[in-house]
Chain A
Amino acid sequence: MSSIPLTHILFLSTALFFIGMYGLFTRRNLISMLMSIELILNSVNINFVAFNKYLYADKLDGIFFAIFIIAIAAAEAAVAIAIIINLYRSHRSIDVEDATEMRY
């Protein structure tokens, strides 16, 4: 059975990272921006798990790091959504273009 080479997986994770970055810069809806950030974090998870499996299979550092990232991403999303709900209450919108109380 031939396995998938590491480079393919790294290509996937890097693509996912930059898709997330692109989404964060172009989307104007806060929930979509949050989803883009999740994409970035998941690309990091893929990186960690792949490196651990292919290169350093004797220790579990990468897997543990991925688990911690998943937990913290959940916490971050919870706080971010609470803030977005509060923003919706005060601005009646979750579009970043409408949140322009402060500018240069």
Chain B
Amino acid sequence: MIDFFILMKQELVIMIIIFALLIIKIISDRSNEWILNMVNFLLLINFAAGFFFGKEGMLFNDMFRTTPLTVLEKNILSLGILIISLQSYSWLKNHKHVLEFYILLLSTLLGMFFMISSGNLLMFYLGLELSTIPLAAAANFDLQKKKSSEAAMKLIISSAFSSGLLLFGISLIYGTTGTLTFTDITPHITNNPLQIFAFILLLAGFAFKISVVPFHLWTADVYEGAPVAVTSYLSVISKGAVLFVFVSVLYTVFKPLSHSWYNMLFLLSALTILIGNLFAIRQNNIKRFLAFSSIAQVGFILVGITGSSQLAETSVVYFVLIYIFSNLAAFGVVSLVSAVTGKENISDYKNFYKTNPALSWVLTIALFSLAGVPPTAGFFGKFFLLMSGAGKGNYILITIAALNMIISFYYYLRIVKAIFMDANEHPIEKLFIPTYPKMAMYICVGGIVFTGLLSYVYEFIQSLVPGV
């Protein structure tokens, strides 16, 4: 009995927080300030609780599994949602529906936790839906804005379609193997054409969620229209969760098909990096720009995934951790600027350094890390991804990825140039940074610097990843 509580501790903590928030919504009438303090404290507890009472095991007839790796992945996501919550302080301070926002966000986090822990296709599907449906409602959170409702519409239609594709794939896998449990499916997977078709449908469903190129068309519109907090959540947390599951499903369940999916991933990753980069060059809105840059980053992650080794899985988890820090640092500055001044264009950032030196440095470090400039963590993350991709000896793919890194330098450094060098008569005025966003920025910058320099982090992740 006690095992049940320990194995599901992270999910149970989130559930308790959700119910607590619902009850507070009903019975009390506190100010936003009080609510935000309390929620941030609860999220801190949630993050801290992940480190105690680790245990390994299965629950519910192998539907739910907990390993040290899933615990670590959930901790990474908890840290991410804590940072996002701290950052959205300036936006939520004056919003009418603060509690509902947190309830929606935490329900999606619960869905992601179940998805990461799933040992069965039914559990996986339920987790996936729980993590996408509330997110569409959250994308509509600026109820008055036209863009926000359009973004939510695009998100719900495309995610419903993608889960339809995924389900058709799952049904064919069920038809050919007769089981839904991951461990029982693997021995039944052969190179049978129906199973390859089913796998392609599953891959398309996954690719929609992590916005790999032929399925990326919703990304930029949704990122631009949704509130910045939801955008950062979509680009970091939900993508990271689906990536974790994608890697483990590919490496365990579909291991017998590894020759077929290697070629698919080769094509998809090359396309994703190239198109993400080329579209990022021509963007003016900074949220759209970050959307396309995040598509390109997913392409690099796919290069790492093609390696299919223990090194590859380690480098994916490591890169997602770094990506959370660097992307959230960038989004933190963007959300602060957009909440106070409403400006979201890259040209508005010209001469930003003159008025806001601290924010400029945070944004610059974040962009350096996203581009992969050596002292920051982003360099090490990309280096390990490319190294694990090179393990297969496919040097064409590595060359494409390396050349695209040069293109990505151009557009990331273009913003740095705008911040420090371009002349501007009317730069954004000096912004006051409240305590919570400031804390979030310290965490992000600290993470960017230290996860790269301390090799302990990488070795710790590697010790948790099972050998393939």
Contact = CB atoms under 8 A, between A and B. Distances in A.
A48 B165 CA distance: 14
Interface in B137-154: 137, 140, 143-147, 149-153
A37 B161 contact: yes
Interface of A: 17, 20, 24, 30, 33-34, 37, 40-41, 43-44, 47-48, 51, 55-56, 61-62, 64-65, 68-69, 72, 75-76, 79-80, 82-84, 86-87, 89-91, 96, 99, 101-102, 104
A contact face: mostly helix, strand, loop, or mixed: helix
Given A65-B122, A76-B133, A90-B149, A51 B175 contact: yes
A61 B172 contact: no
Given A65-B121, A82-B137, 9 more contacts: A44-B167, A47-B168, A72-B129, A72-B133, A80-B157, A83-B152, A86-B143, A99-B153, A104-B220
Give the size range of B's interface with the partner. 35 or more
> Which of A24, A56, A64, A86 gathers the greatest number of chain B CB atoms within 10 Å?
A86
Contacts of A99: 150, 153
Contacts of B122: 61, 64-65, 68
Contacts, number: 116
B contact face: mostly helix, strand, loop, or mixed: helix
A87 B149 contact: yes
Contact of A76 (B144, B145, B160): B160
Contacts of A65: 121-122, 125, 170-171, 174, 180
A47 B147 contact: no
B116 interface: no
A61 B180 CA distance: 7
Nearest to B157: A33
B156 interface: yes
B171 A48 contact: yes
Interface of B: 121-122, 125-126, 129, 133-134, 136-137, 140, 143-147, 149-153, 156-157, 160-161, 164-165, 167-168, 170-172, 174-175, 178-180, 220-221, 224-225, 279
A76 B129 contact: yes
B167 A102 contact: no
Contacts of B143: 86
